[in-house]
Amino acid sequence: MFNRRMSTRHLSVHNYLSLVIGIWCCSVFPTHSMAQGAENPTPAEKAKKARLAIEEILIKGTYTTRSMNGATGLDMSLRETPQTVTIVTTQMIEDKGLVDMEQVLDHVPGVSKSGDASEYSLMYVRGFQLDTGVQVDGMITTPANSTYSGDTSQSIDPILAERIEILKGAAGILGGQGEPSATVNMIRKRPTADFQASLMASSGSWDTYRTEGDVSGSLNESGSVRGRFIGSYMDGDSYIDRYSRDKSVLYGIVETDITESTLVSVAIDKTSVNSRGVYNWSSNPAFYTDGTLIDHDVSFSTGQPWAHRFIEQWSIAPYVQHEFDSGWTVKAMYRFAKATQDVSNASFGAYVDKATGNLVDAWSTPYSLFSGRKSDTESFNIVTNGHFGLLGRDHEVVLGYSYSSNDFDLRFDYADMPVYNLASPHAPAPDYSGPSSPYDAAHSLEVGEQSGTYGTVRFNLADSLKFMLGGRISDWSYDNTDLLNQTQVSTSENNVVIPYTGLVYDVNSFLSLYTSYTGIFLPSQYYGADGNVLEPTEGTNAEAGIKMAFFDNELNISAALYRANKDKVAEWANQGKLPNGNWIYKSIDGVKTDGYEVEISGALTERWNISGGYTDNKAEDEEGNPRQTYLPTKQFKITNSYSLANGLTVGASARWQNYSYGDATIPAQISTTGTALSVRQEQPSYWLVDVMARYEITDALSVSLNIDNLFDETYNRSMWGYSDFGDTRNATATLRYKF
């Protein structure tokens, strides 16, 4: 069952056959006979009309969408999808002034985060880490080393998003491996046939400035060739001592109608993020060595002016789509992405000696880490979907094949640092050419691959009853080569079957009941005490609920119950590190998560947009003990905007989470008692309130003001024994002109 081999890029026989069969089905499967004409359009005309309707509602500026396909590959409305779906639209992104993916996810019900450093928090959905990061147009962006996945995927700017789809629970059919958390898919903006353009400039707290430009339209007289170009630049300081950040984004896409049925496009994007004054994990200690809590200022940071994280990433993505007269469609997309990261920061210690004010640590002496990271990611997906007739009814099917690979090259070096004292917040820049740790000039290469054939059939059992049956057969491999010590660890899994079933019953024209079931498969990249990679996590995810859609699907309401069961879950073993520097983990069985959630999104009236929900989530181990107590178990999030008749739009959002805590142990080596000391870090429940006002000076020109954390609530993002406070009250004024 647990095979080990070197990675390979060759397609397996069953993948190749499935690909051929899928393309063959596209051309030969007919639908049942339908008359041509305006009253009885062909399936192709129906598909094109539906696509135009989807684009139309996105242009109208609501907080929802009529269709998505992130669960099974089939285009379905939110009410037809047998899983919870949250949509974040361009309108909501503009209303809230959201400028990175972490901010977007902060406003999604059921999403929580835990600070791991000065930026790129670890994101969790339904209590599970969002390990696969953020997809772009359905294509995987995550590096082979998931530890660093957030660095690149969360750098993706929401200015590129037409909408962001968050599919809750497991999505093994399309994504393959992953936690039963969520799949976050950013659908990027496409060219428009009519000319449109906009300019934006904003100024905010901490000397933060941002500019944006977006121009789109036809590139020839007939409109068969269209293009869009988007750019933005942002620069600013922070409430965090010595921290600053600048970010630039460029995006271009050209698409052309080769024929009335064939569309071809290519998109290119480039993002640069330069952060200075960053702090590393375990560098902002919350406890003294006697177990008492340190009363830090919210701005406290051990980050230094020389500490930095520089990220450069670019990608190119060609795409082709063909619609057959039979109503079948074939889509193929390839994406190549390259990212580099240059990181230098320090770990001074996890605790503070109260008598001296020095930072101390049981695992290591103060050190600075330099790392150069290179990540090459390839993704390919081809899918065909359409209708077929059976027993007098029309049914839908999707068949596809996907492949992704990532080469992750990591070079790093350590430098010894002097002891850090709270009374002296400045530390000298490290000398990486001087004395350092035993891992001097370490170098590793990680290669991760996965491929799979997938399919789903949506049986139309009755006018009101739809049954979905599908699954995925996946191959996965992972190789980690320590080029310094000339050692290699390889692991793979072949022919992994991930099943999927879903049932949707329409009670009436606006109410549906649903249930779904899918498997969980998550390869591990953590090491056991024997130095080998732990076996993959396996399990199941089940969900049941109700969905309501009103006003032609412009308002969606849902309620769901869910359960996830997992075995072979990697957990930190508290046994230190292996000789190669990797932390030691252990594998546990019987992890169970139960929860429920209620969501609403869309337009309550022509003037009132709303998005939000309530989530209750409980995770336990095999013995019933709570897990991940550092995450809230209950959350409420709501965002509103209301347009008045005089050109004024006002809005407000509120986010609440309940009490959370983290238990830790101060090792005996540094404890003032001479024995291990148990401590608990607590975060009481809290509210965050944001407000917004926008005034349309003319039809083209508008000015807006956003105030976040209106009541200046103080809260800690990390219950891991660190001081990692969230944003203080801040304001941003924005001027936007649309041509």
DSSP-assigned letter for residue 536: P
Burial of 246: CB neighbours in 10 Å, binned 0-12, 13-18, 19+: middle
Residue identified by tokens 């739809």 is 466
Mean pLDDT for the chain overall? 84
Q: What percent of the chain has pLDDT over 70?
A: 85
Q: Closest Cα partner for 595 from 37, 61, 28, 109?
A: 109
- Contact residues for 647 (Cβ-Cβ < 8 A; gap 6+): 695, 696, 697
Question: With helix as H, strand as E and coil as C, how does 622-657 read?
Answer: CCCCECCCCCCCEEEEEEEEEECCCCEEEEEEEEEE
Distance separating alpha carbons of residues 430 and 229, to the nearest angstrom: 41
The superfamily in CATH containing domain 13-738 is: TonB-dependent receptor, beta-barrel domain (2.40.170.20)
User: What integer is the mean pLDDT of 35-43?
Assistant: 43
Model confidence at 43, pLDDT cuts 50, 70, 90, reads very low
Beta strands in 115-224 (DSSP E): 122-125, 128-129, 134-136, 161-168, 182-188, 196-204, 208-218
Residue 283 confidence (pLDDT) above 70: yes
Q: Is the dihedral of CA 281, 682, 101, 131 positive or negative?
A: positive
Distance separating alpha carbons of residues 396 and 383, to the nearest angstrom: 13
**Which range is least confidently modeled, 1-10, 112-121, 513-522?**
1-10
For the stretch 711-727, pLDDT in tens is: 999 999 888 888 889 99
For the stretch 235-271, pLDDT in tens is: 999 999 999 999 999 999 999 999 999 999 999 999 9
DSSP-assigned letter for residue 709: S
- Pairing between β-strand 591-603 and β-strand 122-125 as defined by DSSP bridges: unpaired
Model confidence at 175, pLDDT cuts 50, 70, 90, reads low
Model confidence at 15, pLDDT cuts 50, 70, 90, reads very low
Beta strands in 238-328 (DSSP E): 244-257, 262-276, 308-323
On whether the CB atoms of residues 723 and 716 are closer than 8 A, the answer is yes
Residue 60 confidence (pLDDT) above 70: no
Count of Cβ atoms closer than 10 Å to residue 211 Cβ? 14
Model confidence at 540, pLDDT cuts 50, 70, 90, reads confident
**Which range is least confidently modeled, 30-39, 378-387, 638-647?**
30-39
Model confidence at 590, pLDDT cuts 50, 70, 90, reads confident
Provide the residue type at 694 as one letter.
R
pLDDT at 481: 82
Provide the residue type at 176 as one letter.
G
DSSP-assigned letter for residue 719: -
User: What integer is the mean pLDDT of 341-349?
Assistant: 90
Residue 617 confidence (pLDDT) above 90: yes
Work out the angle at residue 688's Cα, subtended by the Cα atoms of residues 684 and 693, and round it to the nearest 5 degrees: 170
Count of Cβ atoms closer than 10 Å to residue 28 Cβ? 10
Q: Closest Cα partner for 451 from 176, 111, 145?
A: 176
Distance separating alpha carbons of residues 33 and 713, to the nearest angstrom: 63
H or E, element range at 693: strand 686-696
pLDDT at 101: 87
Residue identified by tokens 């696969």 is 132
Distance separating alpha carbons of residues 43 and 31, to the nearest angstrom: 8
* Two tokens, residue 327: 């109503």
Distance separating alpha carbons of residues 180 and 110, to the nearest angstrom: 13
Q: Closest Cα partner for 545 from 575, 581, 583, 505?
A: 505
Model confidence at 279, pLDDT cuts 50, 70, 90, reads confident
User: Quick check: helix, strand or coil at residue 425?
Assistant: coil
Largest CA distance in the chain: 87
Residue 30 confidence (pLDDT) above 80: no
- Contact residues for 205 (Cβ-Cβ < 8 A; gap 6+): 239, 729, 730, 731, 732
Model confidence at 538, pLDDT cuts 50, 70, 90, reads confident
pLDDT at 1: 32
* Two tokens, residue 126: 């339904």
* Two tokens, residue 177: 């491996």
Q: Greater confidence, 553 or 522?
A: 553
For the stretch 425-464, pLDDT in tens is: 899 999 887 655 444 456 778 888 888 899 999 999 999 9
Radius of gyration of the chain (CA): 26
User: What integer is the mean pLDDT of 123-141?
Assistant: 79
Distance separating alpha carbons of residues 585 and 13, to the nearest angstrom: 36
Distance separating alpha carbons of residues 436 and 439, to the nearest angstrom: 8
Q: Greater confidence, 499 or 526?
A: 499
Model confidence at 8, pLDDT cuts 50, 70, 90, reads very low
